[in-house]
Amino acid sequence: MKLSRFFKVLYIIILGFVFFTFKIHSAENINERVKKLTLELRCMTCQNQSIYDSDAEFSNDIKKIVKQKLQEGESEGDIKKFLVERYGEYILFRPLMNYNNIFLWSFPFILLIIGLFFVLIKTKGKKI
Amino acid sequence: MNRIFILTPLITLLIICLFSLVYLLSGKDPSKPPSALLNKDVPIFESSSLYNAKDKIKTKDIKNKKTLINFFASWCSPCKIEHPLFFEIRKKHPELYLLGFNHKDPTSDAKKYLEDDGNPYHFVGVDSDGLIALEFGVFGLPETYLINEDGMIIYKYMGPITKHILENEIEPLL
């Protein structure tokens, strides 16, 4: 009888320990995710600082929103989309993969290919 | 013939470069962060009046009327600079609906500010937690938005508006 009570208490203690460990771990996990995401966001009112590194009111508001949205289960992509819709792509340090940016990055190579094409034709013409 | 052969690719490249430059820089002022909500629908909001919490304003209430939205606060010094201009706007354009959002301000401070400097707004909504400002993409006070009758943001200005901005940028849109 006494042994059964002992196991009941032990069972409750283990459950409590697992519960609190899980709670602490998830809180740390959320804070880590907030840090990771806000390091990729630009503070719009500061000089080239990330939201994470800045203590400006704007940055603190965004940190709060990011934390709240992560706790609600939103993905990092959803949160970035939410912020880009309101503040523009400027808020992201890493540009989005969209048609404008792909064109911007590939344009020098397009020019190089066109240039090479003409050089090739010209040199071929000279040989003939 | 040889000259044409050399010039044609150069002119073609120049034209492509010019078009690309115009396309990439169209409507963008490098000195100002871009306005993501420009030419988009006004965000959904609901706010209580500063003077009567039961009196509310919603997005649908500003449909079918041209509205000038101004985010301000009593603690914001540049807001004080532009404040008298809103009286001028209201006098010159009585058809324009002036909506002020009091941003992160204690109610008593906001009321005192409007008592001392006057209240040019038709409605003063409270944005105590800054969530309405977040929906509008506000990141510093003051900020002013012009909304057309279709509920679209047609103009945004960050910082205190001046007489020059009013006459050259806002009034032509009214």
User: Quick check: B140 and A107 CB within 8 A?
Assistant: no
Please give the residue range of the domain that contains residue B111.
36-173
Same domain, yes or no: A56 and A104? no
Give me the CATH number covering residue A49.
1.10.8.640
Residue B100: inside a domain: yes
Report the distance separating Cα A33 and Cα B46, nearest Å.
Answer: 31
Nearest Cβ partner for B130 among A44, A61, A88: A61
Q: Are B140 and A45 in contact (CB under 8 A)?
A: yes
Distance to chain B for A72, nearest Cα, Å: 17
Reported as a single tens digit per residue, the pLDDT across B68-110 is 999 999 999 999 999 999 999 999 999 999 999 999 999 999 9
Judged by DSSP in three states, B1 sits in coil
In chain A, how many domains are there? 2
Distance to chain A for B34, nearest Cα, Å: 6
Question: What pLDDT is stored for residue B117 in this prediction?
Answer: 95
What tokens does B116 get?
Answer: 């001392």
Residue B2: inside a domain: no
Judged by DSSP in three states, B100 sits in strand
Same domain, yes or no: A17 and A51? yes
Same domain, yes or no: A89 and A72? yes
DSSP B55-67: -EEEGGGGTTS-E
Same domain, yes or no: A72 and A106? no
What tokens does A119 get?
Answer: 């050089």
Residue B22: inside a domain: no
Question: What pLDDT is stored for residue A118 in this prediction?
Answer: 80
| A 26-45 → B contacts, CB under 8 A | 44-45
Question: What pLDDT is stored for residue B81 in this prediction?
Answer: 94
Same domain, yes or no: A51 and A102? no
Please give the residue range of the domain that contains residue A104.
98-128
Contacts of B9 in chain A (CB under 8 A): 114-115, 118
In chain B, how many domains are there? 1
Question: What pLDDT is stored for residue A123 in this prediction?
Answer: 81
Contacts of A58 in chain B (CB under 8 A): 139-140
Place of tokens 């309405």: B132
Report the distance separating Cα B148 and Cα B154, nearest Å.
Answer: 7
Give me the CATH number covering residue B104.
3.40.30.10
Report the distance separating Cα A67 and Cα B47, nearest Å.
Answer: 24
Residue B28: inside a domain: no
Angle separating helix axes A76-87 and A57-71, nearest 10 degrees:
140
Q: Are A66 and A116 in contact (CB under 8 A)?
A: no
Same domain, yes or no: A70 and A21? yes
Distance to chain B for A100, nearest Cα, Å: 8
Same domain, yes or no: A102 and A122? yes
Same domain, yes or no: A78 and A106? no
Radius of gyration of chain B measured on its C-alpha atoms: 21
* pLDDT band, residue B18 (cuts 50/70/90): confident
Question: What pLDDT is stored for residue A19 in this prediction?
Answer: 76
Amino acid at A81: K
The number of residues making up chain B comes to: 174
User: Quick check: A114 and B9 CB within 8 A?
Assistant: yes
Count CA atoms closer than 13 A to B158's CA, side-chain side. Answer: 18
Residue B26: inside a domain: no
Residue B145: inside a domain: yes
Same domain, yes or no: A85 and A104? no
Residue B57: inside a domain: yes
Report the distance separating Cα B164 and Cα B155, nearest Å.
Answer: 15
This prediction's pTM: 0.74
User: Quick check: B134 and A90 CB within 8 A?
Assistant: no
Higher pLDDT pick, A57 / A25 = A57
Residue B23: inside a domain: no
Report the distance separating Cα B34 and Cα B32, nearest Å.
Answer: 6
Same domain, yes or no: A7 and A62? yes
| A 53-82 → B contacts, CB under 8 A | 57-58, 61, 65
Place of tokens 């939410």: A82
Same domain, yes or no: A114 and A72? no
What tokens does A5 get?
Answer: 């009570």
Same domain, yes or no: A113 and A63? no
Report the distance separating Cα A13 and Cα A10, nearest Å.
Answer: 5
Report the distance separating Cα B41 and Cα B90, nearest Å.
Answer: 24
